[in-house]
A = this chain, B = another copy of it.
Amino acid sequence: MAEINFLEIIDLLGTAAFAISGARQAIVRKLDVFGVLIISFVTAVGGGTLRDVLIGNTPVAWMRNEQTIAIILAGATVTMLVNGLYRKLRNTLFLFDSLGLGLFTLAGVDVALQAGFSPGMAIALGTISACFGGVIRDVLLNQVPLIFHKEIYASACIAGGVLFFGLRYLGIDNTVNQVLCICSIVLIRMVAVRYQLSLPPIQKNTNT
């Protein structure tokens, strides 16, 4: 019971964070109101939707739950209206985005475990849930997805997922474990951005 409520809160917070970050990117690209709403929506639910479609969990999550749509509309609308505040809120928004990343990874792992998948597959599905909303957003904005060539992003999700199964193996309480892993993902992401860490591009030696 407590766990279900915790996961619901996870889901709503993560959704709001991603909706706001998606709306911001769409505004920067000068889309109209409808475009901003759609990009906001896709960023927030794209990863979970892809996960649900791949495992056959339909209708997909956001269609079973009016709250999700309400939160996204609210997040996108506020972002459009208070856009002048962007510079002031920069750090808060980055924290939101990192929280969304951690929250969605663990929610995805949970869905995968409930559907009977192995730990490896659960980590993959958690990473897809967390990262592919941003991938679909970038594709719609006609860009090579950011996470393929910049920043520690998906790697943080994978690390968080591995940690989750490690702690689970040690018998840690599930909710405590989820909170710990979400915090780890947020931390990895923050350290990576602060110190501008990123995965190296694969060097192609064209002379050999």
Contact = CB atoms under 8 A, between A and B. Distances in A.
A183 B203 CA distance: 35
B59 A148 contact: no
A34 B199 contact: yes
Contacts of A121: 63, 66
Contact of A140 (B54, B83, B148, B199): B148
Residue of A33, A35, A149, A208 with most chain B CB atoms under a 10 A cut-off = A35
B141 A144 contact: yes
A118 interface: yes
A104 to B, nearest CB: 17
A193 interface: no
A67 interface: no
Interface stretch (A7-15, A23-31, A173-181, A184-192): A23-31
Contacts of A58: 53-56
Interface residues of A, number: 59
Interface string A20-53: 0000001111111111101100000000010001
Chain A: interface secondary structure?
helix
A118 B64 CA distance: 10
Contacts of A147: 34-35
A202 B154 contact: no
Nearest to A198: B32
Nearest to A56: B58
A4 interface: no
Nearest to A35: B148
- Going nearest first, the 10 A-B pairs with the smallest beta carbon separation are A56-B58, A35-B148, A32-B199, A84-B208, A30-B201, A55-B59, A31-B148, A142-B144, A27-B202, A84-B205
Given A32-B149, A55-B63, 5 more contacts: A32-B198, A35-B147, A35-B149, A66-B120, A140-B144
